[in-house]
Amino acid sequence: MLRVSAVCEEAGIPAATLVSEGFIRQAAMTSVGLGLPGMPVALVPGHPDAQSPEELRSNILEVTTQKVIDCLLKTSALGEIDVEPAERDIVFSGGFDQVNDFFYDSDWTDGLPIVPPTRSKVESFLRWTERKPEDVIGIMLPDRRAATVWSIAVNGVMAGCRPEHMPVLVALVAAMVDPEYGVEHSGNTPGSETLIMLNGPITKQLGFNYTQGVMRDGFRANTAVGRFWRLYLKNVAGFILHKTDKATYGNTFRVVVGENEEVLRELGWPPLSADMGRRAGDNTVTIARYSGGNVIAGVAGSTAKAIMANLADAMIRQYSWQLCFFIGSGTGSLRPLLVLSPILAQTIARDGWTKDHIRQYLFEHSRMPAWKFERYLRDWMNKPLWNLAEQVKLGNIPALFHVSDDPERLVPPVFKPADFMILVTGDPMRTNAYVFAHNGRIGFPVCKPIALPANWDGLMASAPPKAG
Partner 1 sequence: MDTKQSASDGYYEVLWPRSPRQTKKKTLARRLDTLKGKTIAQFWDFVFSGDKVHEALEFSLKERFPGVRFVSWKEFGNTHGQDERKILEELPARLKALGVDAAISGMGA
Site for partner 1 in 108-127 (CB under 8 A): 108, 116-120, 122
> What number of chain residues touch partner 1 (CB under 8 A)?
109
Q: Could you say which of 20, 294, 320, 432 contacts partner 1 (CB under 8 A)?
A: 20
13 binds partner 1 (CB under 8 A): yes
Backbone φ and ψ for 237, nearest 5 degrees, come out as -65, -40
Name residues whose C-beta falls within 8 Å of residue 268's C-beta, 6 or more positions apart in sequence. Answer: 349, 354
Are 456 and 344 in contact by the 8 Å Cβ rule? The answer is no
Q: Rule CB under 8 A: which of 402-441 touch partner 1?
A: 440-441
Name residues whose C-beta falls within 8 Å of residue 12's C-beta, 6 or more positions apart in sequence. Answer: none
Q: In terms of Cα–Cα distance, which of 304, 324, 136, 314 is closest to 236?
A: 136
56 binds partner 1 (CB under 8 A): yes
Nearest-angstrom CA–CA distance, 223 and 419 = 28
16 binds partner 1 (CB under 8 A): yes
Q: Could you say which of 129, 333, 341, 425 contacts partner 1 (CB under 8 A)?
A: 333
Read off the DSSP letter of residue 111.
S
3 binds partner 1 (CB under 8 A): yes
Nearest-angstrom CA–CA distance, 433 and 431 = 7
Q: Rule CB under 8 A: which of 265-324 touch partner 1?
A: none
For the chain, the distance separating the N- and C-terminal CA atoms, rounded to the nearest angstrom, is 45
Are 361 and 375 in contact by the 8 Å Cβ rule? The answer is no
Sole window of 147-155, 280-288, 365-373, 431-439 interacting with partner 1 (rule: CB under 8 A): 147-155
How big is the chain by its Cα radius of gyration, in Å? 24
Nearest-angstrom CA–CA distance, 170 and 131 = 9
Q: How far is CA 367 from CA 109, 137, 285, 422, in A?
A: 42, 40, 30, 18
Give 249 or 404: the residue with its C-beta nearer to partner 1.
Answer: 249
Give the shortest CB-247-to-partner 1 separation in angstroms.
Answer: 14
Give 327 or 410: the residue with its C-beta nearer to partner 1.
Answer: 327
Q: How far is CA 442 from CA 243, 256, 277, 339, in A?
A: 19, 19, 21, 21
Sole window of 72-80, 216-224, 276-284, 288-296 interacting with partner 1 (rule: CB under 8 A): 72-80
Q: Rule CB under 8 A: which of 90-109 touch partner 1?
A: 90-99, 102-103, 108
8 binds partner 1 (CB under 8 A): yes
Are 153 and 126 in contact by the 8 Å Cβ rule? The answer is yes
Q: Could you say which of 325, 361, 376, 401 contacts partner 1 (CB under 8 A)?
A: 325
Sole window of 212-220, 229-237, 425-433, 451-459 interacting with partner 1 (rule: CB under 8 A): 229-237
Q: Rule CB under 8 A: which of 346-365 touch partner 1?
A: none
Q: Could you say which of 144, 357, 365, 378 contacts partner 1 (CB under 8 A)?
A: 144
Give the shortest CB-213-to-partner 1 separation in angstroms.
Answer: 30
**3 state SS of 399:** helix
Q: Rule CB under 8 A: which of 21-50 touch partner 1?
A: 22-23, 26-27, 32-37, 39-42, 44, 47-49
Nearest-angstrom CA–CA distance, 223 and 394 = 47
Q: How far is CA 6 from CA 14, 39, 163, 168, 176, in A?
A: 9, 9, 40, 35, 23
The residues facing 148 across adjacent strands are 136
Give 26 or 318: the residue with its C-beta nearer to partner 1.
Answer: 26
Give the shortest CB-83-to-partner 1 separation in angstroms.
Answer: 11
Sole window of 88-96, 401-409, 410-418, 425-433 interacting with partner 1 (rule: CB under 8 A): 88-96
12 binds partner 1 (CB under 8 A): yes
212 binds partner 1 (CB under 8 A): no
Give 96 or 371: the residue with its C-beta nearer to partner 1.
Answer: 96
Give 243 or 357: the residue with its C-beta nearer to partner 1.
Answer: 243
17 binds partner 1 (CB under 8 A): yes
